[in-house]
Amino acid sequence: MSNTPVAAPRPRGRTMGRRLVLLGQRILRSDTILITVIAVSMSLSAVAVYQATRAADEASDLLDQSRIVSTEASRQVGYLQTLVDHDLDVLRTYCTAEVQRDVARVTYLSYEPDLPALVTANLELDGLRPLLLGDRDAQCGSDLETGYVMQRAAERLQSWQADFGSDTSDGAELEAQAAVFHRDEAFLMTAGFLFAFVVAAIIAIDQLGSRRARPGRLRTRAAHRWQYAMLVLGAVALALGLVLLVVFAVDPLLTVAVLAALAIVLVVEWALLRRKRAADAETRAASDVPASAPPLRRGARPQWWAEMIGAVALIAFTASAVGLSLVSIQERDSNARANRESSVALDLQRVGQQQALRALASLSFIAQMDAEEVTARQLAASETSIDLAPSDADPDAVSALRAVVDERLRAADQDLREQAASTLAGDPDPDCKAEAASEAPLPSELLEELGSNPDSVLWYVLDQQLPSRACDVMSSLSRQDARIWSSHGSTFTVALVVLGLAGFLLALASSTERTTRSSRTLLIIGAVGTGVGIVLALLPLPTLVMGTNVPRGAAAQEFGDRLAAAESDSCTAGEGMDEALAAYSGYGPAFSSRAFARDCAAAVHQWPALSSQLQTDAVPAIIDDLERALAVGPVTPTLQGSLGWYYILDGIQTGDEGAVRQGLRHTDDAIEALRVDSASTGNGIHTWRFNRALALAALGQHDEALREYQDTEHCLDPAADCAGGGLSEDEVNDGTRLGALADLELLPEAAGLDDFRAAILGLRASRGPGTGLDEARFDVYPQELQVALIEGFGPDDAEIVWYYRPDDSLTWGLLGEPTRASIDGTGPLGRPIPAGSLLATGEYRADVYVSGHRVVFYDTYESDDSLARYESQRLGVSVVVPDTWYEWRDDGVEWHLGPDEATGLTVRRVEGMVPYVDVGGYLDEKLSSTWGDPDLVPVPDPWLFALFDIVVKEGQDVDADGEADVYEGAALAPYASDWGCGGTLFMVRATSTEDSPSAWRLYNSLVLERPLDGLPPRGEVLEADGVSLEVPSWWDAAIRPEGSTGNLFSAKDCVGGATLVLSTQEYDGDLGGYIDASIRTYSTLPEGLPGFTLESRTPLEVAGADAAELLVYTWLPDGYTEPLRDWEMYAMRGTTVAYADITADAADLEFYQQDLDVILPSMSMTDP
Asked if residue 651 is part of any domain, the answer here is: no
| Residue 551: predicted pLDDT | 84
Residues 6+ apart with CB under 8 A from 1122: 1116, 1145, 1146, 1147
Residues 928 and 995 in one domain: yes
Range 832-856 average pLDDT: 88
| Residue 207: predicted pLDDT | 67
Q: Which of 474, 497, 526 is the last residue of a domain?
A: 474
CA–CA distance, 1088 with 1113 (Å, rounded to integer): 13
pLDDT band with cut points at 50, 70 and 90 for residue 213: low
CA–CA distance, 332 with 946 (Å, rounded to integer): 71
- Worst-scoring range by mean pLDDT, 19-33, 474-488, 559-573, 961-975? 19-33
Residues 750-789: tens digit of each pLDDT: 767 888 988 998 887 665 555 567 678 889 988 989 988 7
Segments forming the whole domain that contains residue 1033 = 1021-1165
| Residue 75: predicted pLDDT | 65
pLDDT band with cut points at 50, 70 and 90 for residue 586: confident
- Worst-scoring range by mean pLDDT, 242-246, 614-618, 983-987? 242-246
How many CB atoms within 10 Å of residue 107? 21
Asked if residue 335 is part of any domain, the answer here is: no
Range 617-643 average pLDDT: 88
Residue 1151 main-chain phi, psi, to 5 deg: -65, -35
Q: pLDDT: is 533 or 416 the higher one?
A: 533
| Residue 218: predicted pLDDT | 58
pLDDT band with cut points at 50, 70 and 90 for residue 211: low
CB 845 within 8 A of CB 812: yes
Residues 991 and 1119 in one domain: no
Residues 850 and 873 in one domain: no
pLDDT band with cut points at 50, 70 and 90 for residue 74: low
Q: pLDDT: is 157 or 243 the higher one?
A: 243
| Residue 791: predicted pLDDT | 63
CB 636 within 8 A of CB 602: no
Residues 1056 and 1086 in one domain: yes
CA–CA distance, 464 with 437 (Å, rounded to integer): 6
Residues 856 and 937 in one domain: no
Q: What is the DSSP string of 657-710?
A: HHHHHHHHHHHHHHHHHHHH-TT--SSHHHHHHHHHHHHHHHTT-HHHHHHHHH
Q: Which of 280, 310, 333 is the last residue of a domain?
A: 280
Asked if residue 853 is part of any domain, the answer here is: yes
Residue 1047 has pLDDT above 80, yes or no: yes
CB 728 within 8 A of CB 156: no
CA–CA distance, 425 with 348 (Å, rounded to integer): 11
Range 660-671 average pLDDT: 92
Residues 1034 and 1151 in one domain: yes
| Residue 210: predicted pLDDT | 61
Residues 1097-1106: tens digit of each pLDDT: 999 999 999 9
Residues 857 and 872 in one domain: no
Residue 279 has pLDDT above 70, yes or no: yes
Highest mean pLDDT among 23-32, 34-43, 537-546: 537-546
- Worst-scoring range by mean pLDDT, 141-150, 358-367, 839-848? 141-150
| Residue 1138: predicted pLDDT | 94
How many CB atoms within 10 Å of residue 440? 22
Residues 246 and 100 in one domain: yes
Range 8-22 average pLDDT: 50
| Residue 388: predicted pLDDT | 46
Range 26-49 average pLDDT: 71
Residues 847 and 878 in one domain: no
Range 953-971 average pLDDT: 86
Residues 987 and 1037 in one domain: no
**Residue 763 DSSP code:** P
| Residue 387: predicted pLDDT | 46
| Residue 1012: predicted pLDDT | 85
| Residue 297: predicted pLDDT | 45
CB 470 within 8 A of CB 580: no
Residue 1137 has pLDDT above 90, yes or no: yes
| Residue 917: predicted pLDDT | 72
What share of the chain in percent tops pLDDT 90?
A: 19
> Nearest-CA neighbor of 194 among 227, 229, 242?
242
Residues 6+ apart with CB under 8 A from 944: 950, 952, 969, 970, 971, 986, 988, 1006
Query: What pTM value is reported for the model?
Result: 0.79
Say whether 114 sits in a helix, a strand or coil: coil
Asked if residue 233 is part of any domain, the answer here is: yes
- Mean pLDDT of the residues in the chain: 80
Residues 994-1004: tens digit of each pLDDT: 778 888 888 88
3-state SS string for 298-330: CCCCHHHHHHHHHHHHHHHHHHHHHHHHHHHHH
Residue 93 has pLDDT above 90, yes or no: no
| Residue 793: predicted pLDDT | 57
CB 629 within 8 A of CB 636: no
| Residue 163: predicted pLDDT | 43
Q: Which of 234, 265, 280 is the last residue of a domain?
A: 280
| Residue 4: predicted pLDDT | 46
Residues 353-375: tens digit of each pLDDT: 777 777 777 777 777 777 877 88
CB 876 within 8 A of CB 834: no
| Residue 8: predicted pLDDT | 46
| Residue 1019: predicted pLDDT | 82
pLDDT band with cut points at 50, 70 and 90 for residue 647: very high
Residues 306-347: tens digit of each pLDDT: 777 877 887 888 888 888 888 888 888 888 888 888 878 777
CA–CA distance, 1164 with 12 (Å, rounded to integer): 117
Residue 142 has pLDDT above 90, yes or no: no
Question: Which CATH number does the domain housing residue 972 bear?
Answer: 3.40.1000
Question: Which CATH number does the domain housing residue 1033 bear?
Answer: 3.40.1000.10
Asked if residue 614 is part of any domain, the answer here is: no
Highest mean pLDDT among 286-295, 682-691, 723-732, 1150-1159: 1150-1159
Residues 1020-1045: tens digit of each pLDDT: 899 998 999 999 999 999 998 877 77
| Residue 164: predicted pLDDT | 39
Asked if residue 318 is part of any domain, the answer here is: no
Asked if residue 539 is part of any domain, the answer here is: no
Asked if residue 591 is part of any domain, the answer here is: no
CB 502 within 8 A of CB 494: no
| Residue 378: predicted pLDDT | 80
CA–CA distance, 127 with 98 (Å, rounded to integer): 12
Residues 116-125: tens digit of each pLDDT: 787 888 878 8
Q: pLDDT: is 406 or 483 the higher one?
A: 483
Residues 977 and 1090 in one domain: no
Residue 6 has pLDDT above 80, yes or no: no
pLDDT band with cut points at 50, 70 and 90 for residue 516: confident
Residue 646 has pLDDT above 90, yes or no: yes
Residues 1038 and 1000 in one domain: no
Total structural domains in the chain? 5
Highest mean pLDDT among 133-137, 572-576, 663-667, 827-831: 663-667
